[in-house]
Structure 1
């Protein structure tokens, strides 16, 4: 069995020896090489503590297994005063020192090495990754270390080439406009890493590892590693309830198809077909084309056709130009036109043929909830307002319209959360016709009511859910919905409430949700026969 070696460190006097013992150095070793490494480590520790004049004197062997290392400590220096010239950026010095003047800063000697490393890293982030710092004209007076700080600069680096690996067809406009990474941009790896983190907000791509850089003699190549994600969704629900007039079971439902980035352009297409239990049919198609010709401007187009049994049909078209400020904020300016036709053989006063044109301004803020497949969006704020004119039989009527949709998830802990959503719309006009009013009610507004069964020129809906996450793929939730609406055409002002419960489960086919809810208006008793069950499945492919 090999014999252990022992080390003892001593100073020039008892005080110095006591200080060496306080370093808590290693004293037992399996071989002489490890012992020598510790002897050098003790010398480095003394320097870091401010004993800048300390010296290792010798290593004496007392017997076959014991060694004594002797050191001279000298004076201790606690503070370092480092002078710099005016070309040095004083802002980064604030990261390491609280004592700063126009031409010097002070730090503790034991943190000097770490402070210089921090400064060097910040200088590298400004586009000069090969720069180094040097201390010159070093002096020691009365316990203070004096030195001049010198930057040995290399040629500033800029990004010359951006290479996407893994998903080579990733839209180039998203690198430039969404990530805001461009060629000839000053190289800063930390900033680049921060910018690529916003990829988590995209539906169709994800970062698989941190970006890397390759330096050659005269160029800088940036590598971004991505993968393409399945982002198309197919969503539908089936609802059924008892008709209070016929006592028969009635069904309603819709199909919602979202196609995202199939052309590797970042584009999206949404197609909705809905058939309601009140013989209402809706066809809705919207498309979004981001970063037209590589510019920060995008375009949105849409068509909506709504048919109310045999009463009327309304066609709505819109076009918008949007500007994406960053990954979370955008603003759009657009035009919206409507044309409605009365289908009744015997016309009534509340339904009329009309045409209208609105000019709209909207703002959208979206904040994702990372790594959460059940609830991918944490906060949404979408607001729009418009001014326009409606024409009936060549008689014009000025109108204004405001719409708001916002929701927020408050995470109480890993399992419990609270969801709140507000949806509101206002149409201001001197006169109204039924076929221009807002329609709401059902699974996507106030639950417990038939789909689009309520009409209003003003309404506000407050949806709430308390959610308990049973696992990463299953949750249960309560339903408490409140609403207020006005219909000046029928002189109605009413408050509504919807109560119920539901659950959602993430399956291989997609997110399956079931909600049971019951709705009633004020001064109306809740009847179980009015309950609604809504089933939906959102599949990703």
Structure 2
């Protein structure tokens, strides 16, 4: 019996609560059928929890009507039909379509107005009424960017002048003098290179203060590899000064990259190994500098040593310097030393241009030269280059969204018996097409062309391998011109794991051998972010155009990119 009474009480309480928490219904009518149609086209919420919500909804609708030109709309008192239904009637009256806004050309720049109106005059400009709110926000944002963070705009003396037209005065309320950034204080990473603030982020003292501009510029921390922003910038306004506070921390930016490749030698049938070590040291001196060291040992007794030093913002200027030394040795046939010195100019965080000189010297190591295409030579050239980079900071596996590097050189190669003018062209570009959060397509194009009257084997381009066309031995292909397309379909299984396909194609020419050939590489791979770094495993099979598929031509490439 007690259980029955308890259950009955529970049901009664639930019904009682539901009864008293019932929704209120609102019905808004127009003074005419046309008014009702306009109100219904704008729309409003018809169900509410309490009377305050009902009243607020009616006021919101009236404000929305005013924004589109019905500034004289009026409503009747709210009528309570029954305990849960309320009604009111709104008379829209005249709709104003155009407004003439009079302004002071000493405080409002007419050039800004011309971007939002086709009819701008010395004292007034014409505007569609429905665009007033967005237009005032735009004008005010431009005023804020000029150092007036507390500026406000409003319309005063709004009066009808003709049918469907209004006039108004534009009133600007702001501080008399623009706010200038007097001091920039860095907290957390006090040794952050100041030149990066000046030229990479373009944040300097004596600039007009604009919160939106500062926010937009500091977003670039997401694409900087040696520092990141701990929290949003803060600003301290005093009577006579403005101080900007940036909160930065130093991040791991050094990287160690290596890979191991192995495959079966088609001639000997034995298993052969190749690989390389790539060390990048960045910002260890708190200057933004970078040092790259590369040692590579390929199949066929090829050895490569390379070092590259990059020093940005020399003498606190936007100009940097890049020095490079590249040594290549092919068995006991020849060795080649390439040196370059380039000056770079940072246009902005995405764009950079280069100019410099290249010098090469190659030596024939054979005591008896049985190959007439291998000779001692020296080359000197001038070079121009352009670089574009766009980061993808929210993705740890694929931090670079797209890049483009275009270089051209003009110089002369000299041997013991002849000198030839030469032109070099190199292009390397890649992009990621994000289909959704998990699926993407990676595209990369790498091409180089050497234009000359004659060619030597020890000056030709060498390509093939994990960073070129996969499924072939490292640097096993010689070309005076080559173009390679790498494509991958990537499926991201998690924030630290992805799998991908490999579809590569290449066309190359060897002017010495009068050889033209098409190559293809197919396979699959995976990448996983471990505590040690990004581990990559690729399996690819390479073949020429007229060659049949052979499993013995397959290559397995393993690499690990570790940051510290």
Give the TM-score normalised by the residue count of structure 1. Answer: 0.85
- Aligned positions of 1:22-171 closer than 5 A: 80-87=99-106, 88-93=108-113, 100-105=120-125, 116=136, 119-133=139-153, 139=159, 146-153=167-174, 154-171=176-193
The alpha carbon displacement at 1:232 in A equals 0.9
Unmatched tracts of structure 2, length 5 or more: 1-19, 21-25, 29-34, 79-87
1:139-196 Cα offsets, whole Å, 9 max, x none, are 5567765433343451122221122223222211111111112221222222222222
Contact residue 149 and residue 211 of structure 2 kept, 8 A = no
Q: Which residue of 1 aligns with 2:8?
A: none
Contact residue 101 and residue 167 of structure 2 kept, 8 A = yes
| Residue 311 of structure 1 pairs with residue 330 of structure 2 | no
Q: Which residue of 1 aligns with 2:282?
A: 260
Rounded to whole Å, the distance in 1 between the matches of 2:325 and 2:288 is 20
2:423 paired residue among 400, 403, 420 = 400
| Residue 290 of structure 1 pairs with residue 312 of structure 2 | yes
The alpha carbon displacement at 1:429 in A equals 2.2
**SS of residue in 2 equivalent to 1:452:** coil
Rounded to whole Å, the distance in 1 between the matches of 2:443 and 2:251 is 29
Q: Which residue of 1 aligns with 2:32?
A: none
**SS of residue in 2 equivalent to 1:199:** helix
| Residue 231 of structure 1 pairs with residue 250 of structure 2 | no
Cα gap change, 1:85 to 1:259, in 2 (>3 Å): same
- Aligned positions of 1:64-463 closer than 5 A: 80-87=99-106, 88-93=108-113, 100-105=120-125, 116=136, 119-133=139-153, 139=159, 146-153=167-174, 154-348=176-370, 349-393=372-416, 395-463=418-486
1:490-536 Cα offsets, whole Å, 9 max, x none, are 33222211111111111121111111111122322222112110000
The alpha carbon displacement at 1:255 in A equals 0.5
The alpha carbon displacement at 1:95 in A equals 7.3
1:281-302 Cα offsets, whole Å, 9 max, x none, are 1111111111111111110001
The alpha carbon displacement at 1:56 in A equals 12
Cα gap change, 1:169 to 1:458, in 2 (>3 Å): same
2:537 paired residue among 484, 507, 514 = 514
Alpha-carbon RMSD across the aligned residues, in angstroms, is 4.3
Question: Greater shift after overlay, 489-498 or 228-237?
Answer: 489-498
The alpha carbon displacement at 1:428 in A equals 2.1
Rounded to whole Å, the distance in 2 between the matches of 1:451 and 1:58 is 84
**SS of residue in 2 equivalent to 1:393:** coil
The alpha carbon displacement at 1:226 in A equals 2.4
Unmatched tracts of structure 1, length 5 or more: 2-6, 10-15, 60-68
Q: Which residue of 2 aligns with 1:490?
A: 513
The alpha carbon displacement at 1:108 in A equals 7.2
1:351-374 Cα offsets, whole Å, 9 max, x none, are 222222121111111122231111
Rounded to whole Å, the distance in 1 between the matches of 2:403 and 2:70 is 58
Cα gap change, 1:74 to 1:473, in 2 (>3 Å): closer
Rounded to whole Å, the distance in 2 between the matches of 1:133 and 1:162 is 29
Give the TM-score normalised by the residue count of structure 2. Answer: 0.81
Cα gap change, 1:309 to 1:115, in 2 (>3 Å): closer
The alpha carbon displacement at 1:272 in A equals 0.6
Cα gap change, 1:249 to 1:192, in 2 (>3 Å): same
**SS of residue in 2 equivalent to 1:271:** strand
**SS of residue in 2 equivalent to 1:307:** strand
| Residue 468 of structure 1 pairs with residue 488 of structure 2 | no
The alpha carbon displacement at 1:329 in A equals 1.1
Rounded to whole Å, the distance in 2 between the matches of 1:480 and 1:496 is 11
The number of aligned residues is 541
Contact residue 202 and residue 217 of structure 2 kept, 8 A = yes
Rounded to whole Å, the distance in 2 between the matches of 1:236 and 1:83 is 68
